Amino acid sequence: MKSFREIKVWQKSMDLVTDIYKITSSFPPEERFGLTNQIRRASVSIPSNIAEGFGRKSDGDFTRFLSIALGSNYEVQTQIEISCNIGILDKKEISGLLSELVEIEKMLKSLKSKLK
């Protein structure tokens, strides 16, 4: 691969960021510096770490950054569920997001295993 942009999991995680920004735009104003900011930052961290790891040009470094991206994925999953638990989102709204996140999780794990 010549560019991180060719990595399917990077592409999927970029789509996720767009979805996260759209759904969090309806969050209450009092969550602007709380949950809204936290979910957005964690979601942005996923493709960012994939790109940074790719740029390090070593499988060991790339694997480490994929682990960080995976941790951010888990953060977003947790924060989406919290948003549902406290009534900001409903189960229908989080269903698609959680499916996307689980798919990205599997892709990250698969890519990590191929690098080892």
CATH of the domain at 58: 1.20.1440.60
Asked whether 13 and 50 are in contact (CB, 8 A), the reply is yes
Polymer length in residues for the chain: 116
Binning pLDDT at 50, 70 and 90, where does residue 1 land? confident
Predicted TM-score (pTM) of this structure: 0.95
Interatomic CA distance for residues 67 and 56, integer angstroms: 14
Rg (CA), the chain: 14
Using pLDDT thresholds of 50, 70 and 90, give the confidence band for residue 116: confident
What share of the chain in percent tops pLDDT 90? Answer: 94
As for how many domains the chain has, the answer is 1
pLDDT at 57: 85
Angle, CA of 61, 45 and 29, to the nearest 5°: 165
Which residues 6+ apart lie within 8 Å of 113 measured at CB? none
Mean pLDDT across the chain, nearest whole number? 96
Give CA separation, 111 vs 8, 15, 63, 70, 104, in Å. 10, 18, 8, 11, 10
Its domain, for residue 79, covers: 4-115
CB 20 within 8 A of CB 45: no
